[in-house]
Amino acid sequence: MLHTNWRRWSSLALCALLLSASGASAQGFKWWQADSYKRELGLTGDQSRRLEEIFQNALPSLRTQKKVLDQAEAEFERLIERGDDTTVMDQVGRVEVARAELNKTRALMLLRMRRTLTTDQWMKFGALHQAEEAERRAAQGRGHSPDTAPDTKSHGAKGLENRSADGKAPSATGADRRAK
């Protein structure tokens, strides 16, 4: 029963991770190298090294796939200006295939990163990410753009002891944005 619940939760968490990993909400930094995350999660040196290795191994593919997606989107924009619906719809298919390939590569990278963490670390990471996202949204609500919002990374796990992971998994990295 416990194994079934864990498996179900893990599947839901991975799905949520993929859904929450859009460019706007993705972590835009190497969290496994940040002192606050290392401390709050209790990351070992070996874990940080393995996470970096997973990221570096995925990065060439992520960059290539991001470039393909950007080119497909640029062509899509160009075709919209011409107004040929059939050609535009064909290009939509190419854009979505490129996006799907990029997301599959990211998902595999994130799954490998997840397997590097213990269950407790993953739960804490979820809470850290949720706290950071809440602070980011609050900053946006105060009129800050995402790029000018106050830095929330240095806050660590502020309020972590009062939070529990609710099954919403965080994005592990903003690789799709940084891959440009």
* Residue ranges of the chain with per-residue pLDDT less than 70: 1-28, 144-180
Give me the pLDDT at residue 143, please.
77
Residue 124 token pair: 């804490």
- pTM comes to 0.63
Place of tokens 């990029």: 102
Query: What tens digit of pLDDT does each residue of 14-64 get?
Result: 334 333 443 333 446 899 999 999 999 999 999 999 999 999 999 999 999
Give me the pLDDT at residue 22, please.
37
Of 4, 3, 1, 20, residue with least CA distance to 165: 20
Give me the pLDDT at residue 159, please.
33
Of 147, 150, 130, 128, residue with least CA distance to 139: 150
Q: Report the alpha-carbon distance of residue 116 to residue 122 in Å, rounded.
A: 9
